[in-house]
Amino acid sequence: MVEDLEWIAFSKLHFTGREYPCREPGSSRIVGIPIPEYFFGDTGFDINHAKNPSDNVAEWLGGTGLDRGHLQLFSKISLIGRELIPHYWHTDEKLRYGLRNPPQHLNTVEEIWWLDRWLALQNTVKEHRLIPGSKVDVDWRFTLPSQISVNLEVKRVPSDCVRHARGRAFSALWFKKFCEEKVLPKFRTSEENEVNVLAISLFGELD
């Protein structure tokens, strides 16, 4: 992991091990659990940007996965990168830029994590353009042992933390609009032995 951090070469990087309150299993006692985290620059999220306790704008929130990363998760990403995409890991400058750029880092981490949800993927291609002449592409394209090709688009939705914090229901209308604007333009109709997949990472429970 140290080698990977040196390859990414963040302009700023420091580590913390602050304790987070957690209910002890089998009891009502609250204990502090140390969570190793790393700060890697300005992501645009900062708890100190809040104007008042009722702010509903996600950019004014902070925490793991918003303005900092979870070090244990990044250690897993290091292994996934080396094992699943060795032809990109430590060699692809666009991947390195995505990991090095603070506002994009956690999105790129999430894209790599989703790759590891598939078994025995082959012929992995990053940023594959499905529609000739289009300016947008899907995050990954790969083939499964069944010879089915998968076009994978990964969306991390940090604004969902507001829904979770405020106790709101997941909005089907919001999701429909989100897909129409952010997802569908990247896909074409699936061809034979091909499937389009949207992987979406939310910050709260599904209702």
Average pLDDT, the chain: 91
pLDDT at residue 190 greater than cutoff 90: yes
> What's the burial of 57, exposed, middle or buried (CB within 10 Å: 0-12/13-18/19+)?
exposed
pLDDT at residue 57 greater than cutoff 70: yes
Least confident of 5-14, 44-53, 90-99: 44-53
H or E element, residue 82: helix 71-84
- Biggest CA–CA distance in the chain, Å, is 59
- 156-178 core/surface letters (b: 16 or more CB in 10 A; e: else): bbbebbbbeeeeeeeeeeeeeeb
Cα gap 24→27, rounded to integer Å? 6
Q: How confident is the model at residue 171 (pLDDT cuts 50, 70, 90)?
A: confident
pLDDT at residue 151 greater than cutoff 80: yes
pLDDT at residue 53 greater than cutoff 70: no
Q: How confident is the model at residue 64 (pLDDT cuts 50, 70, 90)?
A: confident
Read out DSSP for 16-41? E--EEEEEPTTSS-EEEEE--EEE-S
The first and second tokens of residue 6, run together, are 């040196």
User: Which 8-state DSSP code applies to residue 147?
Assistant: S
CB-based contact 174:181 (threshold 8 Å):
no
This prediction has a pTM of: 0.89
Segment 33-57 shows an average pLDDT of 85
Q: How confident is the model at residue 207 (pLDDT cuts 50, 70, 90)?
A: low
Q: Domain locations in the chain?
A: 1-116, 118-207
Instruction: Read off the pLDDT of residues 93-110 as tens digits, 9 standing for 90 and up.
Output: 999 999 999 999 999 999
